[in-house]
Amino acid sequence: MNYDYIENLVRHAKAGDLKAKEDLTYEFTPFVISISSRIYIHGYENSDLKNECFLTLFNCISKYNLDTHRFVAYATNAIKNNLNILVKKVVSKEEFDGFFSLCDDIGSEILSNTPMVEEKILLELEYNKLSAAINDNLSDCEKQLVLFLYFMNNTLTNYAYHENISYVTASKRKKRALEKLKTFILSKGGNELWELTI
């Protein structure tokens, strides 16, 4: 992106120039497509996620301070933060309905390595089984741990800090949760499924 050009477009867009807003939308479209394709939120289509991104972009235009000269960084961070908030809202619903956010590159990397449609379908079925195993066998605390570590791509250190517990306690929780999952999955003959969780 040409940062000076973007700053100029923002200046005109803040003044009410619709063509400048349209040009800004065009400039940010590759970023929006990239980030919205790397995230899955239950109940949201890809087009919904793109709309959320563009709404955030327009909100950034209205709130942006022209003196800072950092609109690209401001807008891209705002879009990422808005999507993270959206994910957290869905994840933190009181009823845990088997939803998992495939944040960042987790889902896209897995699917990009399986070129055949059949393999994609099988992989999705395996993840549905994993989701059911997590829902049926783990406590709410353990479910949050699994989500935080494996589906939101956080570290155990961050989890311990987030939960205000020691690292040792967090490590024991993780080990206990994985042992429960392993026992359940292997009892159902899911050797291949267990390999996905390692």
Helices (H) and strands (E) in the chain, counts: 10, 0
Buried b / exposed e over 128-160, threshold 16 CB at 10 Å, is eebeebbeeebeeebbbbbbbbbbbebeeeebb
Q: Is residue 99 a contact partner of residue 91, using CB atoms and an 8 Å limit? A: yes
Rounded distance between C-alpha atoms, residue 171 and residue 175, angstroms: 6
SS3 content of the chain, % helix, strand, coil (to 5): 75, 0, 25
First to last CA, the chain: 39
Rounded CA-CA distance 54/29 in Å is 9
pTM over 0.75: no
Domains of the chain, first to last: 3-91 (1.10.1740.10), 106-197 (1.10.10.10)
Reading the chain (198 residues) residue by residue, the pLDDT tens digits are 788 899 999 999 999 899 999 999 999 999 898 888 887 777 778 888 888 898 999 999 989 888 888 899 899 989 988 888 887 776 655 334 444 444 444 444 444 444 445 566 656 666 667 777 777 778 888 888 888 887 777 788 888 888 888 888 888 888 888 888 788 777 766 554 444 444
